[in-house]
Structure 1
Amino acid sequence: MTSEDTGDGDEADGQRPTDGTETGGAAAVRLDGPETLLADERARPRATGVPDGTTVVVDLTATDHTGQTWRASRRYRPVDGAVDLAAHDPVDADETDPSPAGLAWALAPVDGDPVRFPTAPHGDHERRYRAVVRDEAGREVATATTTTTVVHERGVTHRHVGGGEDADDGDEPSERSGRSDGGAGTSGPSETPVEPPTGHCYSPTGDGPHPAVVLCHGSGGVPLRRHAALLASRGYVAFALQYLGVDDLPETPVEVPLSVPRRAVRWLRAHPATTGSVGLYGVSMGGQLAALLASEPDVSVDAVVVDSGSLHVFPAGGDTAPWTRDGEPVATTAVPDAPPDRFASSTGGASDRRTAFHAMVAATDRERRRAATISAEQIRTPVLWLSGTDDATWPATAAGEALLARCDARDVTFPVDHRVYHDAGHAFGPPGLPTTWRPAGPDDRVARGGTPGAHAAGRQTAWAATRTWFDDALR
């Protein structure tokens, strides 16, 4: 059934005392926070000893790997002498602020327009919190500081498999650059009867075997290394597949053989480092791929998570199919016989394409539409569909509703859930990075949609739902 997800992610363990001291003499204010934090844990910076009748301004700064400084600031009123960023709403919040969600989502460059937070390759960074306590006259009463290092790996080894290019995977991948490290790490799946495709394998260092997940990136072609590192930190062998721009594969999703991700599933299922339970995760075009692959009769997976995917196979350019099956293009919807700008609109200065995809479906006759629709009833495994109602890339929410309708009509026996996040946009993935660039970054050709606050809140709960889905199905 369709539901709004209101669950929270994990909370960080182990608060560390302030590394600053109070000023002003009268107030003994402390600011505590964890020394290190996995990116998908909820930080709980907490100021204590705050006098009644005061306000607390909390400033957060961070520096990305390029040296650029990011900053966010909110004002709070103490409750019982304390301010908890994970529990209290700021007094200067507006309707777009998630409630409550700390400050990391609100970080923006000190200089320049909001952009995606760069990662190399995961986005580890240091957060510096400073609390300034002011009395009713605005005078500074006390200050305190604490620092938290955000990481994406804990007890994990990494190994690059195969050849090909590698890149900073950013917030939502859009471009590919740089080259592979050629095989960092020595642990994890390596030699099995099935030759693996190119990608990055992250493995827990603890005793195995472990369940496994194959992660499929979107049309930008950059492997989901942040996702994989975090899943491995939670006890999964996570393989960030790279199916574009390597191994003589196309640079864009045009006639990519389904045999490539199929091989990744078979490789992990057969490997002694895994339990044989394999999940499939895909975002955007990778979400379409994950749903399509799971419906293939010769592919066996134990759980599927589709993040902002599509239930129709849309053409990749003209009438060209994005995927091939046994050398033949899969069926796609039609392209409307209309001028290119007929269905064009703009969101945040970038192209809003949701109307164009609706037009493709409408322009397709019934027989071709049926052939271009992924056979939900053939998936035969638990499916979690994630969507935002303000997805400006394509109509992922409508696709999720269609999935539910098809499954209800056919009395499928496997669990199916569609989590809808209101005013969120395209592509969730792990939390922990700013969303202030939404609904579109300054260099985006295609808008992603979503308000910054709503998407941050959706991302937190969508990732928690993803982990729970895999835990329930694979462990």
Structure 2
Amino acid sequence: MGERTARWICAVAATALIGAGTSGCSDLDSHALLEVDARVALADQAVHMRVSGLSPGGEVTVTSRAVDRKGMPWHGQATFRADRHGLVTLDTATPTSGTYRRPDGMGLFWSMVPRTGDPDHTSFVPPASRHHAYDVTLTATAHGHRFASRTVTREWFATGVTGRRLTVASDKVSGSLYLPNPGTVQHPAVLVFGGSEGGNSSETAAALLASHGYPALALGYFDLPGLPHSLENIPLEYFATAARLLAAQPEVDPRHILVMGYSRGSEAALLLADDYPGLVHGAVVYSPSAQVNGGIPHYSTAAWTKDGEPVADGLIPLNHVSGPVMAIAGSDDHLWTSTLWAQQIVEELDACGNRYPHHALIYPHAGHGVGTFPYLAAGTRYPLTGREIDLGGTRAGNAAAQEAGWHRVLALLASLGP
């Protein structure tokens, strides 16, 4: 064991880690510790854990536990063998058994399963909290003895981030506006919206974007007070109004307003990027479509309108797009052909001679649930009245895609400055 490693173990143990026996570091073999590098972190940020002071080759089980919004306990579990130094580093260790099976430092978070029910048929929804956070308790057990426990807090808001509800009556749009710490320099901003689920499903993603310094407006466009009841005849001008409201914020660099649309929302995002190139400067689309589809529930009705006229079904033109485009899809999407459409979007931008970066990110073993932010346990089926929709992919595949894709989105925003 190197001197730097030993110093790190002592420092972590001295700053509040809970272990068995005394707090000294002179006898690591007899004083096992569960070490966590971040007691509090944003919900989309990884924490790094390891167990030290074990016997070489010794077995240890680490569990996670959290309670969802309905009061249902969820748990994750992984059993490991210590290396010759008596260490288990969760970032690189392969579980011998548990709720996930490959090396993954955040596996205990995304692989949690409910106390009852099939995890593929449900998702962990954190409890509502005035502190905008939820807790996950980590516990380490060896030889049937629980020797360490640690609670980590997962936050939706960084310090200084503010949120404000928007209503049709007062703001002409329905949503939530999240802004980073006042007084920061202007940053790229994101208009975020979901798909056919309706309501405002993108609030947590928008709050996390603002926590990374990027102002974000989570927008609802149907099935909310003052809005249409269904995904039919939604004016693109409504989205443009929201983009202008976002661009007017002092924290926003109006040269870099991106739209982020999921599933059916990808159609609106691409239409906005092409129809309003002076306002919208690129798009991120998850599980996208390259074409305009009909309304829901009446497919013969237009989903979108422009200047009071229906936007016709068919391929979405992209020849006026004035910013980067990132199309993110899972290779096992069972809902629709998002993989082919993501590739088609990039091919069309190539054919248009688009000079901005544009990429299709296709993730293996992921389905329609390929995005957005990572580390929340989520199923692969979506419940509807009287039936379920198979979204495809595996929980592990979606988790890996969410982590990789979200990092690419943040890197794209960072590349736009400052």
TM-score bracket for this pair, using the shorter chain length: 0.7 to 0.9
For residues 240 and 377 of structure 2, what CA distance do their matches in structure 1 show? 34
1:84 aligns with 2:89: yes
Structure 1 counterpart of 2:281, from 302, 312, 319: 302
1:227 equivalent to 2:205? Answer yes
Match of 1:18 in 2: 17
Q: Is the deviation greater in 244-253 or in 388-397?
A: 244-253
Cα distance in 1 for residues equivalent to 2:333 and 2:204: 22
Please name the residue that 2:52 is paired with: 48
User: d(CA) in 2 for partners of 1:295 and 1:94?
Assistant: 44
Amino acid at match of 1:315: G
Aligned residue type for 2:330: G
Hey, what does 2:360 align to over in structure 1?
418
Matching residue of 1:151: 155
Q: Specify the alignment match of 1:218 in structure 2.
A: 195
Q: How far apart, in 2, do the equivalents of 1:263 and 1:330 lie?
A: 18
2:85 counterpart of 1:104: no
- Is 1:202 aligned to 2:171, yes or no? no
Are 2:139 and 1:130 aligned?
yes
Of residues 323-332 and 309-318 in structure 1, the stretch that sits farther from structure 2 once superposed is 309-318
CA distance in 2: counterparts of 1:381 and 1:88, whole angstroms: 41
> How far apart are the structure 2 equivalents of 1:374 and 1:98?
41
Matched residue, 1:32: 35
TM-superposed deviation, 1:98: 6.6
Question: Which position in structure 1 is the counterpart of 2:376?
Answer: 433
Asked if structure 2 preserves the Cα contact closer than 8 Å seen for 1:303 and 1:473, the reply is: no
Query: What do the CA deviations read for 1:79-102 (whole angstroms, capped 9, x no partner)?
Result: 332212223221236997574543
Classify the secondary structure of the residue corresponding to 1:306.
strand
1:268-310 Cα offsets, whole Å, 9 max, x none, are 2233332223121111111221111111146522331111111
For each residue in 1:151-199, what CA deviation from the matched residue of structure 2 results, as whole angstroms up to 9, or x when unmatched? 11112111101258xxxxxxxxxxxxxxxxxxxxxxxxx9xxxx55221
Give secondary structure in 1 for the equivalent of 2:74: strand
Q: What does residue 268 of structure 2 align with?
A: 289
Q: Provide closer, same or farther for how the CA distance between residues 247 and 419 of structure 1 changes in structure 2, counting only shifts above 3 A.
A: same
Q: Equivalents in 1 of 2:293, 2:101: separation in Å?
A: 33
Between the aligned partners of 1:59 and 1:232, the Cα distance in structure 2 is 31
State the TM-score, normalized to the length of structure 2.
0.85
Matching residue within 406, 412, 415 for 1:469: 412
Contact 2:282–2:321, Cα closer than 8 Å, also in 1: no
Assess if the C-alpha contact under 8 Å between 2:67 and 2:127 holds in 1. no
Task: Check whether the contact 1:287–1:309 (CA below 8 A) recurs between aligned residues.
Answer: yes
Sort the Cα spacing of 1:409 and 1:153 in 2 relative to 1 into closer, same or farther, 3 A.
Answer: same
Aligned-partner Cα distance in 2 for 1:243–1:380: 24
- Over the matched positions of the two proteins, sequence identity in percent amounts to 29
Contact 1:128 1:147 in 2 (8 A): yes
Residue pair 1:196, 1:267 contacting (<8 A) in 2 also: no
Q: Which segment drifts farther, 238-247 or 14-23?
A: 14-23
* Structure 1 counterpart SS, 2:63: strand
- Partner residue of 2:3? none
Q: How does 1:57-456 map to 2 (within 5 A)?
A: 57-79=61-83, 80-92=85-97, 97=102, 99=104, 101-114=106-119, 115-119=122-126, 124-134=133-143, 140=144, 143-155=147-159, 156-163=161-168, 196-211=172-187, 212-223=189-200, 224-246=202-224, 248-276=226-254, 277-297=256-276, 299-316=278-295, 317-332=298-313, 372-427=314-369, 428-435=371-378, 437-440=379-382, 445-456=388-399
Q: Give the superposed CA RMSD.
A: 2.6
CA deviation after TM superposition for structure 1 residue 141, in Å: 6.5
Q: Is the 8 A contact 2:282 2:322 kept in 1?
A: no
Unaligned runs of 5+ in 1: 1-13, 135-139, 165-189, 333-371
Contact 2:40 2:155 survives alignment (8 Å): yes
**Residues in 1 aligned to 2:21 and 2:291: alpha-carbon distance in whole angstroms:** 59
Q: In terms of mean alpha carbon deviation, does 155-164 or 125-134 score higher?
A: 155-164
Give per-residue Cα distances to partners, 1:318-352, cap 9 Å, x unaligned: 311110001111011xxxxxxxxxxxxxxxxxxxx
Query: Is contact 1:278-1:474 (8 Å) kept?
Result: no
Structure number with higher relative contact order (C-alpha < 8 Å, ≥ 6 residues apart): 1
The letter of the residue matching 1:326 is: D
Equivalent residue of 2:399, what SS?
helix
**Correspondence for 1:458:** 401
Q: Distance in 2 between matches of 1:442 and 1:19?
A: 44
